């Protein structure tokens, strides 16, 4: 048996190659999982673009200098187990390598799931190390796995951004500016913010995505990047940056003199990343979702946090799938070559914002 993996050049993300290696026997306590489906979105490009800064390359080390494996969210089935509490045929949701198989070392096993106890993941954040058993997962539904893989990790980030801003009384602002407004994490955030009383949610996007963003119904208005000056700059505002574009961030900070807070989230404009130097207004602060999870875990307890998330997720996942024009239309890509091609396409930022890409390294 062998494992096929997509490797990405860490300093040149467009350079990729497929690697097939022979499987080694499991050690006592390990399990082998067939990675059956995963989502590939702009979020995964962010993982790669910020891989060094936020340690994303460390989850699945390649052993080859300069080459990394981009983590993805999705579903897998245990095919081999040398762990007494994890059975063959168990279905799991979690964070996988872009490969057709993964080996995990379950620890802290309970009815909900387990953490990967591999030594190289010991210092990495628990949110990404946890694997959920679909049989006991409150957010799981067998009939919408694709929507879960595509939107669940993004929506949790969206929900936490909204929760963080509300917890900070929106830094005294009533206007939220969201770049890359057609991206899934942005529109999930807008969906949450739209439920807040007295908050104006402005989506910033390219001309080609205006109609899509307007069709979602969660933006107060949608403005193209070249029309920023049509928005009053003195009104207290919060900038939520999903694009990561240096040029756009400079323009936002220059025009919006009433900017109360600048929140950096993503890097969908991967060709325009980097430090922005000296900016007028508040210093951009990177949003790190696990920190807000930790805070709310302390505030509400695990069950209280989970209950709120499940309720919000059920509302959101119903909204994106409803109506004659759903927000999300799933497209499938099977096999190593198809996945490699898809990665290049997502990296280039091309494609329909309504498309949700589900891939598998397994042959079709």
- pTM for this entry: 0.83
Say which range, 141-155, 234-248, 258-272, 304-318, has the weakest mean pLDDT: 258-272
pLDDT of res. 272: 47
Contact 267, 45 (CB under 8 A): yes
CA trace torsion 121, 126, 166, 249 (10° rounding): 10
pLDDT of res. 351: 76
Alpha-carbon span 190 to 182, nearest angstrom:
10
pLDDT of res. 246: 87
The secondary structure element, H or E, covering residue 16 is strand 16-22
Q: Beta 200-205 vs 221-224: how paired, if at all?
A: parallel
The secondary structure element, H or E, covering residue 61 is none
Is the pLDDT confidence value at 323 over 80?
no
Alpha-carbon span 87 to 134, nearest angstrom:
13
Whole-number Cα distances in Å, 13 to 51, 68, 110, 256, 274: 11, 10, 38, 33, 15
Q: Tokens standing for 272? A: 């325009």
Q: What is the CB neighbour count within 10 angstroms for residue 247?
A: 13
Q: What is the mean pLDDT of the chain?
A: 93
Alpha-carbon span 138 to 164, nearest angstrom:
23
Alpha-carbon span 102 to 125, nearest angstrom:
19
Is the pLDDT confidence value at 271 over 60?
no
Q: What is the CB neighbour count within 10 angstroms for residue 301?
A: 11
Closest by Cα among 267, 237, 265, 273 to 252? 237
């Amino acid at each position: 048996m062998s494992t096929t993996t997509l490797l990405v050049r860490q300093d040149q993300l467009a350079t990729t190659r497929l690697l097939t290696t022979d499987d080694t026997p499991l050690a006592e306590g390990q399990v082998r999982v067939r990675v059956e489906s995963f989502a590939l979105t702009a979020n995964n490009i962010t993982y790669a673009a910020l891989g060094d800064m936020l340690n994303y390359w460390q989850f699945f080390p390649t052993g080859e200098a300069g080459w990394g494996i981009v983590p993805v969210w999705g579903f897998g089935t245990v095919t081999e187990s040398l762990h007494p509490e994890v059975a063959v045929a168990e279905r799991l949701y979690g964070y996988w390598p872009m490969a057709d198989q993964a080996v995990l070392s379950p620890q802290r096993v309970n009815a909900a799931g387990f953490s990967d106890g591999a030594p190289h993941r010991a210092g990495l954040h628990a949110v990404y190390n946890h694997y959920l058993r679909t049989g006991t997962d409150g957010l799981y539904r067998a009939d919408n796995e694709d929507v879960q893989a595509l939107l669940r990790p993004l929506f949790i980030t969206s929900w936490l951004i909204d929760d963080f801003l509300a917890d900070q009384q929106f830094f005294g602002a009533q206007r939220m500016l969201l770049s890359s407004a057609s991206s899934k994490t942005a529109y999930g955030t807008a969906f949450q913010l739209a439920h807040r009383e007295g908050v104006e949610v402005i989506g910033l996007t390219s001309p080609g995505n205006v109609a899509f963003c307007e069709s979602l119904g969660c933006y107060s208005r949608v403005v193209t990047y070249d029309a920023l000056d049509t928005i009053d700059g003195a009104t207290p505002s919060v900038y939520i940056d999903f694009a990561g574009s240096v040029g756009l961030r400079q323009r936002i900070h220059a025009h919006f003199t009433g900017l109360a807070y600048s929140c950096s989230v993503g890097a969908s404009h991967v060709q325009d990343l980097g430090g922005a130097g000296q900016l007028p207004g508040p210093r951009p602060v990177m949003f790190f979702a696990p920190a807000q999870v930790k805070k709310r875990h302390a505030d509400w307890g695990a069950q209280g946090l989970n209950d709120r998330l499940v309720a919000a997720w059920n509302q959101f996942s119903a909204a994106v799938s409803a109506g004659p024009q759903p927000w999300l239309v799933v497209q499938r890509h099977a096999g190593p070559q198809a996945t490699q091609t898809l990665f290049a396409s997502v990296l280039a930022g091309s494609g329909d914002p309504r498309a949700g890409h589900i891939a598998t390294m397994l042959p079709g």
